[in-house]
Amino acid sequence: MKRSRSSNAWLREHVSDSYVQRAKAEGYRSRAAYKLLQIDDREHLIRPGDLVVDLGASPGGWSQVVAKRQQGRGRVIAVDILPMEQLPGVVFLPGDFRETEVLERLRGLLKQERAGLVLCDMSPNISGISLCDQAQGMHLAELALDFASQWLQPEGCLLVKVFQGLGFDDFLVRMRQTFRLVCLRKPDASRDRSREVYLLGRGLRA
């Protein structure tokens, strides 16, 4: 099948992208790794000894960053509906985080331990219908927030990707109701034209 002009343009941009080239040179699985690296350099979210849960982890760029920075001191549990090749120091749970069965299996892996950090870089399958895609993206963020509110340590953090648009303001209100401190971050590795931003919540409210 012949590629469309838009897909060809995306492919050319992707191949020439400096972060794509850096990821290949430095051994990271995706350019997304640099988004977490840049945020963590500023916020110091990844702490040795913590349990970290990475929702929507495939292909593993964020889990890879966490495992490297923890240097074997801590646990990383990665969840995704897509397959992910094994990473040292990372337990991968295949399945759809939206399904109750997968959530129960995740709870079993937690072994009653509360996480120091929950990461969510999930995106919906893009349909091209902007209102539908936005709603699905916000739903994924809400599920991550619900999980974090139940399984974070009192001083733990949630870093979640959201897309600016319908539902964003309401979700920001929920974040502020859940965490004592909430801030917005857009790392340099996030493309300028993208509506994606990252909300960081620190410290659960009582």
Is 11 part of a structural domain of the chain?
no
Q: Known catalytic residue: 161?
A: yes
Is 9 part of a structural domain of the chain?
no
Q: Given the structure tokens 């619900």, which residue do they identify?
A: 146
The pLDDT mean for the chain works out to: 91
Residues of the chain with pLDDT under 70: 1-16
Is 21 part of a structural domain of the chain?
no
Binding-site residues for S-adenosyl-L-methionine sit at: 60, 62, 80, 96, 121
Is 24 part of a structural domain of the chain?
no
Percentage of residues of the chain with pLDDT beyond 70:
92
Is 5 part of a structural domain of the chain?
no
pLDDT of 15: 57
pLDDT of 6: 44
Q: Where in the sequence is the domain holding 166, given as residue range(s)?
A: 29-204
For the stretch 100-115, pLDDT in tens is 999 999 999 999 999 9
pTM: 0.90
The count of structural domains within the chain is: 1
ω into 88 cis (within 30 of 0): no
We report the CATH number of the domain holding residue 147 as 3.40.50.150
User: Judging by beta carbons within 10 Å of its beta carbon (0-12, 13-18, 19+), is residue 114 exposed, middle or buried?
Assistant: middle
Binding-site residues sit at: 60, 62, 80, 96, 121
